[in-house]
Amino acid sequence: MAEAKQGPSWQAESIPTGVPNLDRLIDGGLTRGSLVLLAGGPGAGKTVLAGQMAFHWAAQGRKVLWVVTLGEPNEKFMTHLSAMRFFDRRMVGDTVQIINLSRYLEQGRQAQLSVIRETVQGGDYAFVIIDGFQSQRSFLGDPRDVRLFLSELGSELALMGITMLLTVDASPLRNWESAEFTVVDVIIALERGEAEGRERRLLRVLKQRGRAAIGGHHTFTISSNGIHVHPRVEAVARAAEAPASTTRHSFGLAGLDQMLAGGLLEGSATLLAGSAGTGKSLLAGQFLAEGLRQGQPGLYLAFFESLNRLLQRAGEFDMPLRQGLESGLLHVKLYPSGRCDPDACAEEAMRLIAEHRIRRLVLDGLEPIERELATSGRIIDYLAAVVEYLRAQGVTSLLTYELSEPVGTTLNLGRPLLSQVTGNVIFLRFARTDTRRHRLLSVLKTRYSDHSDAIAELLVSQGRLEVVTDPAAVQQQKPDLVPVAFQGEPQGGHYY
Protein backbone atom coordinates (compact mmCIF):
# COMPACT_ATOMS: atom_id res chain seq x y z
CA MET A 1 0.00 0.00 0.00
CA ALA A 2 1.27 3.42 -0.88
CA GLU A 3 2.26 5.60 2.00
CA ALA A 4 -0.11 8.39 2.90
CA LYS A 5 0.86 11.44 0.96
CA GLN A 6 2.76 13.85 3.14
CA GLY A 7 1.72 17.47 2.90
CA PRO A 8 4.35 20.18 2.77
CA SER A 9 6.30 20.26 6.01
CA TRP A 10 5.06 23.77 6.82
CA GLN A 11 1.48 22.63 7.05
CA ALA A 12 1.50 22.20 10.77
CA GLU A 13 3.68 25.22 11.42
CA SER A 14 2.17 27.53 13.95
CA ILE A 15 2.88 31.23 13.56
CA PRO A 16 2.68 33.36 16.72
CA THR A 17 0.95 36.68 16.07
CA GLY A 18 3.10 38.64 18.48
CA VAL A 19 -0.05 40.28 19.90
CA PRO A 20 0.17 39.98 23.71
CA ASN A 21 -2.00 37.07 24.85
CA LEU A 22 -3.74 36.53 21.53
CA ASP A 23 -1.71 33.41 20.87
CA ARG A 24 -2.95 31.89 24.13
CA LEU A 25 -6.47 32.06 22.72
CA ILE A 26 -5.62 30.49 19.38
CA ASP A 27 -3.61 27.51 20.57
CA GLY A 28 -0.22 29.09 20.02
CA GLY A 29 -0.71 30.93 16.77
CA LEU A 30 -2.08 30.88 13.25
CA THR A 31 -1.56 27.83 11.07
CA ARG A 32 0.74 28.66 8.21
CA GLY A 33 -1.14 28.92 4.93
CA SER A 34 -4.49 29.56 6.54
CA LEU A 35 -7.01 32.25 5.64
CA VAL A 36 -7.75 34.52 8.55
CA LEU A 37 -10.56 37.05 8.87
CA LEU A 38 -10.50 39.99 11.27
CA ALA A 39 -14.05 41.31 11.47
CA GLY A 40 -15.59 44.21 13.31
CA GLY A 41 -17.31 47.58 13.00
CA PRO A 42 -15.68 50.93 12.22
CA GLY A 43 -12.86 51.78 14.61
CA ALA A 44 -12.97 48.32 16.16
CA GLY A 45 -9.20 47.97 15.78
CA LYS A 46 -8.94 45.71 12.70
CA THR A 47 -6.24 47.74 10.97
CA VAL A 48 -4.25 48.13 14.18
CA LEU A 49 -4.44 44.37 14.81
CA ALA A 50 -3.41 43.47 11.26
CA GLY A 51 -0.64 46.09 11.28
CA GLN A 52 0.70 44.86 14.61
CA MET A 53 1.00 41.33 13.25
CA ALA A 54 2.50 42.60 9.98
CA PHE A 55 5.29 44.50 11.70
CA HIS A 56 5.89 41.69 14.15
CA TRP A 57 6.42 39.28 11.26
CA ALA A 58 8.38 41.81 9.23
CA ALA A 59 10.71 42.35 12.17
CA GLN A 60 11.53 38.65 11.95
CA GLY A 61 12.49 39.11 8.33
CA ARG A 62 9.31 37.56 6.91
CA LYS A 63 7.93 39.49 3.99
CA VAL A 64 4.43 40.95 4.15
CA LEU A 65 2.35 42.16 1.22
CA TRP A 66 -0.17 44.77 2.40
CA VAL A 67 -2.99 45.29 -0.06
CA VAL A 68 -4.83 48.61 0.04
CA THR A 69 -8.22 48.35 -1.57
CA LEU A 70 -9.96 51.64 -2.19
CA GLY A 71 -8.58 54.86 -3.52
CA GLU A 72 -6.64 55.29 -0.29
CA PRO A 73 -3.16 56.58 -0.92
CA ASN A 74 -0.45 54.46 0.67
CA GLU A 75 0.32 57.40 2.93
CA LYS A 76 -3.00 56.90 4.67
CA PHE A 77 -1.89 53.51 5.86
CA MET A 78 1.37 55.06 7.00
CA THR A 79 -0.31 57.88 8.89
CA HIS A 80 -2.81 55.54 10.42
CA LEU A 81 -0.27 53.18 11.90
CA SER A 82 2.77 55.40 12.28
CA ALA A 83 1.67 56.54 15.74
CA MET A 84 1.97 52.97 16.93
CA ARG A 85 5.21 51.80 18.52
CA PHE A 86 5.33 48.64 16.48
CA PHE A 87 5.43 50.71 13.28
CA ASP A 88 8.85 50.90 11.67
CA ARG A 89 9.09 53.16 8.65
CA ARG A 90 12.29 51.50 7.48
CA MET A 91 10.42 48.26 6.87
CA VAL A 92 7.88 49.87 4.57
CA GLY A 93 8.96 49.21 0.99
CA ASP A 94 11.29 46.53 2.27
CA THR A 95 9.84 43.67 4.34
CA VAL A 96 6.41 45.34 4.26
CA GLN A 97 5.36 46.03 0.67
CA ILE A 98 2.21 47.97 -0.09
CA ILE A 99 0.19 47.62 -3.28
CA ASN A 100 -2.93 49.46 -4.22
CA LEU A 101 -5.71 47.49 -5.91
CA SER A 102 -8.00 50.43 -6.60
CA ARG A 103 -7.13 50.66 -10.31
CA TYR A 104 -8.13 47.03 -10.83
CA LEU A 105 -11.28 46.91 -8.79
CA GLU A 106 -13.63 47.63 -11.70
CA GLN A 107 -11.96 45.00 -13.86
CA GLY A 108 -13.40 42.15 -11.87
CA ARG A 109 -12.23 39.09 -10.08
CA GLN A 110 -9.62 37.76 -12.48
CA ALA A 111 -7.86 41.11 -12.82
CA GLN A 112 -7.73 41.51 -9.04
CA LEU A 113 -6.48 37.98 -8.64
CA SER A 114 -3.71 38.34 -11.19
CA VAL A 115 -2.34 41.53 -9.64
CA ILE A 116 -1.97 39.82 -6.28
CA ARG A 117 -0.74 36.60 -7.89
CA GLU A 118 1.93 38.35 -9.94
CA THR A 119 3.14 40.45 -7.05
CA VAL A 120 3.36 37.41 -4.80
CA GLN A 121 5.24 35.39 -7.39
CA GLY A 122 7.79 38.16 -7.79
CA GLY A 123 8.69 38.23 -4.12
CA ASP A 124 9.32 35.86 -1.29
CA TYR A 125 6.20 36.66 0.71
CA ALA A 126 5.08 34.88 3.85
CA PHE A 127 1.91 36.96 4.38
CA VAL A 128 -0.70 38.75 2.33
CA ILE A 129 -2.95 41.18 4.15
CA ILE A 130 -6.00 42.76 2.52
CA ASP A 131 -7.16 45.65 4.69
CA GLY A 132 -10.76 46.75 4.19
CA PHE A 133 -12.00 43.81 2.15
CA GLN A 134 -15.54 45.23 2.25
CA SER A 135 -14.64 47.84 -0.36
CA GLN A 136 -13.17 45.21 -2.65
CA ARG A 137 -16.10 42.86 -2.24
CA SER A 138 -18.50 45.55 -3.46
CA PHE A 139 -16.73 45.35 -6.84
CA LEU A 140 -16.77 41.58 -6.97
CA GLY A 141 -20.43 41.19 -7.69
CA ASP A 142 -22.55 38.44 -6.20
CA PRO A 143 -21.61 36.31 -3.18
CA ARG A 144 -20.51 33.53 -5.54
CA ASP A 145 -17.86 35.82 -6.98
CA VAL A 146 -16.64 36.73 -3.49
CA ARG A 147 -16.47 33.09 -2.55
CA LEU A 148 -14.55 32.20 -5.71
CA PHE A 149 -12.11 35.07 -5.25
CA LEU A 150 -11.34 34.03 -1.71
CA SER A 151 -11.13 30.30 -2.31
CA GLU A 152 -9.00 30.69 -5.42
CA LEU A 153 -6.62 33.14 -3.85
CA GLY A 154 -6.68 31.31 -0.53
CA SER A 155 -5.75 27.96 -2.00
CA GLU A 156 -3.05 29.38 -4.28
CA LEU A 157 -1.45 31.20 -1.37
CA ALA A 158 -1.82 28.17 0.88
CA LEU A 159 0.11 26.07 -1.62
CA MET A 160 2.93 28.57 -1.40
CA GLY A 161 2.78 28.50 2.38
CA ILE A 162 1.52 32.07 2.50
CA THR A 163 -0.84 33.04 5.29
CA MET A 164 -3.60 35.45 4.31
CA LEU A 165 -5.30 37.99 6.52
CA LEU A 166 -8.43 39.93 5.60
CA THR A 167 -9.95 42.74 7.58
CA VAL A 168 -13.61 43.39 6.94
CA ASP A 169 -16.10 45.87 8.29
CA ALA A 170 -18.88 43.46 9.17
CA SER A 171 -20.61 41.97 12.12
CA PRO A 172 -19.99 38.23 12.32
CA LEU A 173 -23.36 37.69 13.92
CA ARG A 174 -25.31 39.62 11.30
CA ASN A 175 -23.25 38.51 8.31
CA TRP A 176 -22.67 34.93 9.31
CA GLU A 177 -23.92 33.60 5.99
CA SER A 178 -21.74 35.83 3.84
CA ALA A 179 -19.03 34.33 1.67
CA GLU A 180 -15.99 35.52 3.61
CA PHE A 181 -17.27 34.02 6.83
CA THR A 182 -17.87 30.59 5.37
CA VAL A 183 -14.66 30.33 3.33
CA VAL A 184 -12.08 31.40 5.90
CA ASP A 185 -10.28 29.14 8.38
CA VAL A 186 -10.12 31.57 11.28
CA ILE A 187 -12.46 34.35 12.36
CA ILE A 188 -11.41 36.84 15.00
CA ALA A 189 -14.20 39.26 15.84
CA LEU A 190 -13.57 42.65 17.43
CA GLU A 191 -16.63 43.97 19.18
CA ARG A 192 -17.70 46.61 21.61
CA GLY A 193 -19.46 45.76 24.80
CA GLU A 194 -20.49 47.54 27.93
CA ALA A 195 -19.72 46.93 31.58
CA GLU A 196 -21.23 49.17 34.21
CA GLY A 197 -21.92 51.96 31.74
CA ARG A 198 -18.44 51.95 30.31
CA GLU A 199 -17.39 50.76 26.93
CA ARG A 200 -15.23 47.71 26.67
CA ARG A 201 -13.42 46.38 23.64
CA LEU A 202 -14.06 42.68 23.25
CA LEU A 203 -12.33 40.05 21.17
CA ARG A 204 -13.73 36.67 20.26
CA VAL A 205 -12.28 33.80 18.29
CA LEU A 206 -15.37 32.61 16.46
CA LYS A 207 -13.81 29.88 14.41
CA GLN A 208 -10.43 28.26 14.08
CA ARG A 209 -10.18 25.20 11.89
CA GLY A 210 -7.91 22.47 13.14
CA ARG A 211 -6.93 24.14 16.39
CA ALA A 212 -8.46 24.45 19.80
CA ALA A 213 -9.42 28.07 20.32
CA ILE A 214 -10.53 29.47 23.65
CA GLY A 215 -13.97 30.84 22.89
CA GLY A 216 -16.05 33.49 24.54
CA HIS A 217 -15.40 37.17 25.03
CA HIS A 218 -12.05 38.50 26.17
CA THR A 219 -11.38 42.18 26.73
CA PHE A 220 -8.61 44.03 24.95
CA THR A 221 -7.13 47.50 24.99
CA ILE A 222 -5.58 49.68 22.31
CA SER A 223 -2.73 52.01 23.21
CA SER A 224 0.30 53.28 21.39
CA ASN A 225 1.76 49.84 22.08
CA GLY A 226 -0.97 48.39 19.93
CA ILE A 227 -3.46 45.77 21.00
CA HIS A 228 -3.14 43.88 24.27
CA VAL A 229 -5.60 41.08 24.95
CA HIS A 230 -6.72 40.27 28.49
CA PRO A 231 -8.03 36.70 28.37
CA ARG A 232 -10.75 35.72 30.81
CA VAL A 233 -8.80 34.47 33.79
CA GLU A 234 -10.92 31.36 34.27
CA ALA A 235 -10.43 30.39 30.62
CA VAL A 236 -6.65 30.48 30.58
CA ALA A 237 -5.35 30.15 34.16
CA ARG A 238 -3.62 26.82 34.52
CA ALA A 239 -2.75 25.95 38.06
CA ALA A 240 -0.24 23.22 38.56
CA GLU A 241 -0.90 20.83 41.43
CA ALA A 242 1.11 22.01 44.40
CA PRO A 243 1.80 19.95 47.52
CA ALA A 244 -0.31 21.03 50.48
CA SER A 245 1.84 23.15 52.73
CA THR A 246 1.81 23.08 56.50
CA THR A 247 3.64 26.39 56.81
CA ARG A 248 1.64 29.08 58.54
CA HIS A 249 1.74 32.81 57.99
CA SER A 250 1.06 34.79 61.10
CA PHE A 251 -0.44 38.24 61.53
CA GLY A 252 2.00 39.20 64.25
CA LEU A 253 -1.02 39.71 66.52
CA ALA A 254 -0.74 37.17 69.31
CA GLY A 255 -4.47 36.82 69.91
CA LEU A 256 -5.40 36.32 66.28
CA ASP A 257 -2.49 34.00 65.53
CA GLN A 258 -3.54 31.87 68.46
CA MET A 259 -7.10 31.68 67.11
CA LEU A 260 -5.69 30.56 63.77
CA ALA A 261 -3.49 27.84 65.28
CA GLY A 262 -0.43 29.85 64.35
CA GLY A 263 -1.55 31.70 61.26
CA LEU A 264 -3.04 31.24 57.81
CA LEU A 265 -1.96 28.12 55.94
CA GLU A 266 0.42 28.88 53.13
CA GLY A 267 -1.37 29.13 49.81
CA SER A 268 -4.78 29.56 51.42
CA ALA A 269 -7.17 32.39 50.63
CA THR A 270 -9.07 34.22 53.34
CA LEU A 271 -12.14 36.38 53.04
CA LEU A 272 -11.97 39.19 55.58
CA ALA A 273 -15.57 40.36 55.73
CA GLY A 274 -17.13 43.10 57.78
CA SER A 275 -19.08 46.32 57.59
CA ALA A 276 -17.44 49.67 56.95
CA GLY A 277 -14.96 50.81 59.55
CA THR A 278 -14.59 47.50 61.33
CA GLY A 279 -10.86 47.37 60.59
CA LYS A 280 -10.57 45.20 57.50
CA SER A 281 -7.91 47.32 55.79
CA LEU A 282 -5.93 47.69 59.00
CA LEU A 283 -5.85 43.94 59.56
CA ALA A 284 -4.97 43.35 55.93
CA GLY A 285 -2.14 45.88 56.15
CA GLN A 286 -0.94 44.21 59.33
CA PHE A 287 -0.84 40.85 57.55
CA LEU A 288 1.39 42.26 54.82
CA ALA A 289 3.52 44.18 57.30
CA GLU A 290 4.20 41.04 59.31
CA GLY A 291 5.26 39.29 56.11
CA LEU A 292 7.65 42.14 55.33
CA ARG A 293 9.14 41.88 58.80
CA GLN A 294 9.82 38.23 58.04
CA GLY A 295 11.40 39.14 54.72
CA GLN A 296 8.50 37.88 52.58
CA PRO A 297 7.70 39.79 49.40
CA GLY A 298 4.16 41.16 49.43
CA LEU A 299 1.67 42.53 46.95
CA TYR A 300 -0.98 45.06 47.94
CA LEU A 301 -3.88 45.72 45.60
CA ALA A 302 -6.44 48.32 46.60
CA PHE A 303 -9.22 50.50 45.25
CA PHE A 304 -10.20 54.08 46.09
CA GLU A 305 -6.87 54.45 47.84
CA SER A 306 -3.91 56.75 47.34
CA LEU A 307 -0.35 55.73 48.06
CA ASN A 308 0.17 58.67 50.40
CA ARG A 309 -2.84 57.84 52.52
CA LEU A 310 -1.90 54.20 52.58
CA LEU A 311 1.66 54.86 53.70
CA GLN A 312 0.65 57.47 56.21
CA ARG A 313 -1.77 55.16 57.96
CA ALA A 314 0.73 52.33 57.86
CA GLY A 315 3.25 54.67 59.48
CA GLU A 316 0.83 55.50 62.28
CA PHE A 317 0.53 51.81 63.06
CA ASP A 318 4.20 51.08 62.75
CA MET A 319 3.72 48.92 59.71
CA PRO A 320 6.88 48.97 57.58
CA LEU A 321 5.08 49.40 54.25
CA ARG A 322 7.17 52.41 53.23
CA GLN A 323 10.38 50.56 54.02
CA GLY A 324 9.04 47.55 52.11
CA LEU A 325 8.39 49.71 49.07
CA GLU A 326 11.82 51.28 49.28
CA SER A 327 13.60 47.97 49.65
CA GLY A 328 11.60 46.42 46.80
CA LEU A 329 10.01 43.80 49.04
CA LEU A 330 6.54 45.34 48.79
CA HIS A 331 4.67 45.96 45.57
CA VAL A 332 1.58 48.13 45.47
CA LYS A 333 -1.00 48.43 42.73
CA LEU A 334 -3.72 50.99 43.38
CA TYR A 335 -6.89 51.75 41.45
CA PRO A 336 -7.94 55.11 42.94
CA SER A 337 -11.01 55.38 40.70
CA GLY A 338 -12.24 52.00 41.89
CA ARG A 339 -12.33 50.99 38.24
CA CYS A 340 -10.45 48.10 36.75
CA ASP A 341 -10.74 45.46 34.13
CA PRO A 342 -10.71 42.37 36.39
CA ASP A 343 -8.85 40.29 33.82
CA ALA A 344 -6.23 42.97 33.24
CA CYS A 345 -5.88 43.37 37.01
CA ALA A 346 -5.39 39.62 37.50
CA GLU A 347 -2.91 39.49 34.64
CA GLU A 348 -0.89 42.30 36.20
CA ALA A 349 -1.00 40.63 39.62
CA MET A 350 0.13 37.31 38.19
CA ARG A 351 3.02 39.02 36.44
CA LEU A 352 4.11 40.72 39.68
CA ILE A 353 3.74 37.47 41.63
CA ALA A 354 6.01 35.61 39.21
CA GLU A 355 8.51 38.44 38.84
CA HIS A 356 8.92 39.19 42.55
CA ARG A 357 8.20 35.81 44.09
CA ILE A 358 5.34 37.25 46.10
CA ARG A 359 4.45 35.28 49.28
CA ARG A 360 1.58 37.33 50.69
CA LEU A 361 -1.12 39.15 48.79
CA VAL A 362 -3.80 41.53 49.96
CA LEU A 363 -6.70 42.56 47.79
CA ASP A 364 -8.35 45.35 49.71
CA GLY A 365 -11.87 45.41 48.32
CA LEU A 366 -13.44 42.64 46.36
CA GLU A 367 -16.52 44.76 45.65
CA PRO A 368 -15.17 46.78 42.72
CA ILE A 369 -14.27 43.55 40.97
CA GLU A 370 -17.63 42.07 41.82
CA ARG A 371 -19.29 45.16 40.36
CA GLU A 372 -17.30 44.95 37.13
CA LEU A 373 -18.26 41.32 36.71
CA ALA A 374 -21.90 41.82 37.69
CA THR A 375 -23.30 41.83 34.15
CA SER A 376 -21.45 38.72 33.07
CA GLY A 377 -22.09 36.87 36.35
CA ARG A 378 -18.50 35.63 36.37
CA ILE A 379 -17.45 36.58 39.90
CA ILE A 380 -17.32 33.05 41.32
CA ASP A 381 -15.60 31.48 38.31
CA TYR A 382 -13.18 34.38 38.18
CA LEU A 383 -12.33 34.19 41.89
CA ALA A 384 -12.04 30.43 41.83
CA ALA A 385 -9.47 30.65 39.04
CA VAL A 386 -7.51 33.37 40.84
CA VAL A 387 -7.58 31.54 44.19
CA GLU A 388 -6.50 28.31 42.52
CA TYR A 389 -3.63 30.11 40.84
CA LEU A 390 -2.52 31.66 44.13
CA ARG A 391 -2.70 28.31 45.88
CA ALA A 392 -0.53 26.72 43.22
CA GLN A 393 1.97 29.53 43.59
CA GLY A 394 1.98 29.18 47.37
CA VAL A 395 0.80 32.77 47.78
CA THR A 396 -1.20 33.31 50.97
CA SER A 397 -3.94 35.83 50.30
CA LEU A 398 -6.36 38.00 52.19
CA LEU A 399 -9.36 39.47 50.37
CA THR A 400 -11.43 42.09 52.13
CA TYR A 401 -15.14 42.33 51.53
CA GLU A 402 -17.45 45.01 52.83
CA LEU A 403 -20.80 43.91 54.19
CA SER A 404 -23.70 46.29 54.17
CA GLU A 405 -25.75 44.48 56.79
CA PRO A 406 -26.55 46.59 59.79
CA VAL A 407 -24.96 45.59 63.04
CA GLY A 408 -26.54 42.66 64.81
CA THR A 409 -28.33 40.96 61.93
CA THR A 410 -27.65 37.66 60.28
CA LEU A 411 -24.31 37.50 58.60
CA ASN A 412 -25.24 36.73 55.07
CA LEU A 413 -22.54 37.47 52.56
CA GLY A 414 -25.22 37.60 49.92
CA ARG A 415 -22.89 35.37 47.96
CA PRO A 416 -22.54 32.20 50.03
CA LEU A 417 -20.27 30.77 47.35
CA LEU A 418 -17.68 33.47 48.04
CA SER A 419 -16.74 31.85 51.33
CA GLN A 420 -16.53 28.45 49.67
CA VAL A 421 -14.15 29.81 47.08
CA THR A 422 -11.82 31.38 49.61
CA GLY A 423 -11.96 28.57 52.12
CA ASN A 424 -11.23 30.75 55.15
CA VAL A 425 -13.48 33.46 56.52
CA ILE A 426 -12.67 36.01 59.19
CA PHE A 427 -15.59 38.17 60.25
CA LEU A 428 -15.45 41.61 61.81
CA ARG A 429 -18.43 43.42 63.28
CA PHE A 430 -19.39 46.14 65.67
CA ALA A 431 -21.15 45.61 68.96
CA ARG A 432 -22.21 48.31 71.31
CA THR A 433 -22.19 48.42 75.05
CA ASP A 434 -23.37 51.32 77.15
CA THR A 435 -19.93 52.77 77.22
CA ARG A 436 -18.45 52.17 73.80
CA ARG A 437 -18.42 50.47 70.45
CA HIS A 438 -16.46 47.23 70.17
CA ARG A 439 -14.96 45.60 67.13
CA LEU A 440 -15.59 41.89 67.37
CA LEU A 441 -13.51 39.44 65.45
CA SER A 442 -14.32 35.81 64.83
CA VAL A 443 -12.81 33.17 62.63
CA LEU A 444 -15.84 31.60 60.96
CA LYS A 445 -14.03 28.90 59.14
CA THR A 446 -10.63 27.73 58.05
CA ARG A 447 -10.40 25.02 55.43
CA TYR A 448 -8.00 22.14 56.21
CA SER A 449 -7.16 23.68 59.53
CA ASP A 450 -8.34 24.05 63.07
CA HIS A 451 -9.39 27.38 64.47
CA SER A 452 -10.74 28.82 67.64
CA ASP A 453 -14.43 29.60 68.02
CA ALA A 454 -13.67 32.47 70.34
CA ILE A 455 -15.17 35.88 69.83
CA ALA A 456 -12.28 38.19 70.16
CA GLU A 457 -12.11 41.91 70.29
CA LEU A 458 -9.99 43.91 67.90
CA LEU A 459 -8.61 46.87 69.75
CA VAL A 460 -7.51 49.77 67.61
CA SER A 461 -5.98 52.63 69.49
CA GLN A 462 -3.09 55.03 69.33
CA GLY A 463 -1.20 53.30 66.60
CA ARG A 464 -1.72 49.87 68.10
CA LEU A 465 -3.65 46.85 66.94
CA GLU A 466 -4.43 44.11 69.36
CA VAL A 467 -6.68 41.08 69.35
CA VAL A 468 -7.95 40.16 72.80
CA THR A 469 -9.20 36.63 72.93
CA ASP A 470 -10.49 36.09 76.41
CA PRO A 471 -14.07 35.10 75.55
CA ALA A 472 -15.33 35.26 79.08
CA ALA A 473 -14.13 38.76 79.52
CA VAL A 474 -15.50 39.81 76.17
CA GLN A 475 -18.90 38.26 76.79
CA GLN A 476 -19.14 39.76 80.23
CA GLN A 477 -18.54 43.16 78.75
CA LYS A 478 -21.16 42.65 76.04
CA PRO A 479 -24.37 41.20 77.41
CA ASP A 480 -26.31 42.68 74.52
CA LEU A 481 -24.83 40.52 71.80
CA VAL A 482 -27.42 38.99 69.50
CA PRO A 483 -27.13 35.68 67.68
CA VAL A 484 -25.45 35.80 64.34
CA ALA A 485 -25.84 32.95 61.91
CA PHE A 486 -23.43 32.43 59.11
CA GLN A 487 -25.03 31.11 55.95
CA GLY A 488 -23.31 28.19 54.42
CA GLU A 489 -21.85 26.84 57.64
CA PRO A 490 -22.39 23.09 57.77
CA GLN A 491 -23.48 22.99 61.42
CA GLY A 492 -26.21 25.52 60.98
CA GLY A 493 -24.17 28.51 61.92
CA HIS A 494 -22.23 29.99 64.76
CA TYR A 495 -24.19 31.74 67.43
CA TYR A 496 -22.89 34.30 69.72
Ligand X SMILES: Nc1ncnc2c1ncn2[C@@H]1O[C@H](COP(=O)(O)OP(=O)(O)OP(=O)(O)O)[C@@H](O)[C@H]1O
Binding residues (CB under 5 A) for Mg ion: these are: 47
* Residue whose CB is less far from ligand X, 224 or 491: 224
> Is residue 42 a contact residue for ligand X (CB under 6 A)?
yes
Distances in Å between the Cα of 176 and the Cα atoms of 57, 159, 181, 201, 204 are 29, 27, 6, 21, 14
Report whether 165 contacts 36 (CB < 8 A).
yes
Q: Candidates 150-158, 219-227, 284-292, 340-348 — which segment interacts with ligand X by CB under 6 A? A: 219-227
> Is residue 476 a contact residue for ligand X (CB under 6 A)?
no
Burial class of 381 by CB neighbour count within 10 A (0 to 12, 13 to 18, 19+): middle
| H-helix segments, 269-328 | 280-293, 307-316, 321-327
* Residue whose CB is less far from ligand X, 27 or 169: 169
d(CA 130, CA 85): 22
Report whether 416 contacts 262 (CB < 8 A).
no
**Per-residue interface string for the shown chain with ligand X, residues 68-87, x marking contact by CB under 6 A:** ---------------x----
* Residue whose CB is less far from ligand X, 39 or 361: 39
Least Å distance, CB 43 to Mg ion, is 8
User: What would you measure as the largest C-alpha separation in the chain, in angstroms?
Assistant: 96
Map residue 492 onto helix, strand or coil: coil
Q: Candidates 46-54, 254-262, 288-296, 362-370 — which segment interacts with ligand X by CB under 6 A? A: 46-54
Three-state SS annotation for 448-471: CCCCCCCEEEEEEECCEEEEECCH
Angle between helices 342-356 and 379-393 (to 10 degrees): 0
d(CA 55, CA 68): 16
Least Å distance, CB 12 to Mg ion, is 31
* Residue whose CB is less far from Mg ion, 44 or 350: 44
Beta bridge partners of 93: none
- Site residues (CB under 6 A) for ligand X, limited to 278-307: none
Displacement of CA 111 from its chain's centroid (Å): 46
- Site residues (CB under 6 A) for ligand X, limited to 348-367: none
Count of residues that bind ligand X according to CB under 6 A = 13
Report whether 338 contacts 302 (CB < 8 A).
no
Exposure pattern of 415-424 as b/e (b: 16+ CB <10 Å)? beebbebbbb
Per partner kind, with CB cut-offs from 5 to 8 A, the member of Mg ion, ligand X, none near residue 44 is ligand X
Least Å distance, CB 50 to ligand X, is 8
Per partner kind, with CB cut-offs from 5 to 8 A, the member of Mg ion, ligand X, none near residue 43 is ligand X
Least Å distance, CB 100 to ligand X, is 16
> Is residue 226 a contact residue for ligand X (CB under 6 A)?
no
* Residue whose CB is less far from ligand X, 127 or 389: 127
> Is residue 43 a contact residue for ligand X (CB under 6 A)?
yes
- Site residues (CB under 6 A) for ligand X, limited to 139-198: 169
> Is residue 48 a contact residue for ligand X (CB under 6 A)?
yes
Please give the full DSSP string across 225-260, using - where no structure is assigned: TEEEEE--HHHH--PPP-PPP--EE--S-HHHHHHT
Please give the full DSSP string across 3-40, using - where no structure is assigned: PPPPPPGGGG-EE---STTHHHHTTTSEETT-EEEEEE
> Is residue 47 a contact residue for ligand X (CB under 6 A)?
yes
Least Å distance, CB 60 to Mg ion, is 24
Least Å distance, CB 54 to ligand X, is 12
Q: Candidates 109-117, 220-228, 243-251, 402-410 — which segment interacts with ligand X by CB under 6 A? A: 220-228
Report whether 270 contacts 304 (CB < 8 A).
no
Per partner kind, with CB cut-offs from 5 to 8 A, the member of ligand X, Mg ion, none near residue 42 is ligand X
Per partner kind, with CB cut-offs from 5 to 8 A, the member of ligand X, Mg ion, none near residue 223 is ligand X
> Is residue 199 a contact residue for ligand X (CB under 6 A)?
no
> Is residue 414 a contact residue for ligand X (CB under 6 A)?
no
Per partner kind, with CB cut-offs from 5 to 8 A, the member of ligand X, Mg ion, none near residue 2 is none
The residue within the footprint of ligand X, chosen from 60, 107, 114, 223 (CB under 6 A), is 223
* Residue numbers at the binding site for ligand X (CB under 6 A): 40, 42-48, 83, 169, 222-224
